[in-house]
A = this chain, B = another copy of it.
Amino acid sequence: MVLRGKSPGVHKLGSSKKREMKKTFPGRAARIPDISDFEEARNHIVERAANLFAGRRYDQVTLDDLIAILGIGKGTLYRYFSNKAELYARIVEVGHVNLLALLGEIHGREDMNPTEKLHEMAFSMAHFLRLHQDIYTVMAIEEPKERYCRSDKMIRYRTERIGMIASIVEQGQEKQIFRPDFDPWLFAQSLTGALWVEAIFPFRSEVDEGKKILRTGEIVSLFLDGIGMKVQAPA
């Protein structure tokens, strides 16, 4: 307020460094076609950006970090996504869609019984998580808005994922392969959580470095041995 006379006139700091020319032969347009595709460029950005968001929280990743990884200008980013949040949302959505497609494929297989499907789903999920850890870590730690209530989209994603597992369990119960005395959803929720947690936490590495690999099989067994019909076989 003291010196707030601030003349609205122009300042002198503008600089216009254009570096060396981009186009060696004007009119030649030696463009690689697959990058020119708008959607493909988006996906390229999404894939690489997921790396950053997986390692740090939304607010911890700056646009400067992003463009450094992406190798593009800040303004360019805004051509593909209207803002940072949209890029973030896209990352999560792509991850979900891919994983759900994978689970759906297994779900539809006719050459497998429910037990095999559960095994397969668990291993596929674990495998997928290992390949795309970044995105799924993003998904695991995504932003809740209100108390105990995550964003609608996130909840829907989660419901779809768990529902896919639960559906198999239900099939197993109908076919009397699994015990009927438990809630398929609760089972699916618990199993998924256990797998996810094991994938995300680097836990227990102190015991045996060789065991650092995800113990997916053990977890699935833990669950299936408890619910399978075979436990009743002795009866």
The A201-227 residues at the B interface (CB cut-off 8 A) are 201-204, 207, 215, 218-219, 221-223, 225-227
Q: Would A70 and B4 be within 8 Å (CB), given that A147-B134, A197-B189, A197-B193 are in contact?
A: no
Of the listed stretches A34-42, A97-105, A109-117, name the one at the interface; the rest are far from the partner chain. Answer: A34-42
Q: Would A72 and B197 be within 8 Å (CB), given that A2-B151, A3-B58, A134-B147 are in contact?
A: no
This chain's copy number in the assembly: 4
A187: chain B residues at CB < 8 Å are 222
The A7-34 residues at the B interface (CB cut-off 8 A) are 7-22, 26-27, 29-31, 33-34
A37: chain B residues at CB < 8 Å are 15, 17
Contact B4 A60 (CB under 8 A): yes
Binding site for B on A (CB under 8 A): 1-22, 26-27, 29-31, 33-34, 37-38, 41, 44, 51, 54-60, 64-65, 67-72, 76, 83-85, 88, 133-134, 137, 141, 143-151, 155, 158-159, 182-183, 185-187, 189-190, 193-194, 196-198, 200-204, 207, 215, 218-219, 221-223, 225-227, 231-232, 234-235
